[in-house]
């Protein structure tokens, strides 16, 4: 058995769901916080907590702006985040004995 390390920042179930969803977007695309919350069926507080952890790891970029007078928050996977997710996927495949 090989020593495969899974990224603990990504490995938490909620953060894995966030990163996997953002990774499905083309590089450079972003999604509104409320839309991501809806897609993942997460509370605003829960998503916010996990997004902050991913932002601290520089895996996710958070942009706060306004649409008219309404504040809007967008999230996107950074290049660092995309690379970390790919490493995570390869490590998981190796751990499970499948092709990476």
Residue 1 clears pLDDT 60, i.e. is over it: no
pLDDT single digits (tens) 47-89: 999 999 999 999 999 999 998 999 999 999 999 999 999 999 9
pTM of the complete model? 0.90
Q: Which domains does the chain have, with CATH numbers?
A: 8-94 (1.10.10.10)
61-87 exposure pattern, b = at least 16 Cβ within 10 A, e = fewer: beeeeeeeeeeebbbbbbeebbebbee
Task: Tell me the backbone φ, ψ of residue 47, rounded to 5 degrees.
Answer: -65, -40
Alpha helix (H) residue ranges in the chain:
8-11, 13-23, 33-40, 44-56, 79-96
pLDDT value at residue 58: 98
């Amino acid at each position: 058995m090989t020593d495969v390390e899974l990224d603990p920042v990504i490995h938490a179930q909620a953060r894995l769901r966030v990163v996997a969803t953002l990774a499905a977007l083309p590089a450079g695309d972003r999604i509104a916080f409320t839309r991501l919350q809806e897609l993942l069926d997460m509370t605003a507080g829960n998503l916010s907590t996990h997004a902050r952890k991913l932002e601290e790891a520089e895996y996710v970029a958070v942009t706060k702006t306004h649409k008219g007078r309404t504040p809007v928050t967008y999230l996107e996977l950074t290049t660092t985040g995309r690379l970390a997710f790919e490493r995570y996927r390869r490590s998981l495949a190796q751990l499970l004995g499948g092709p990476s």
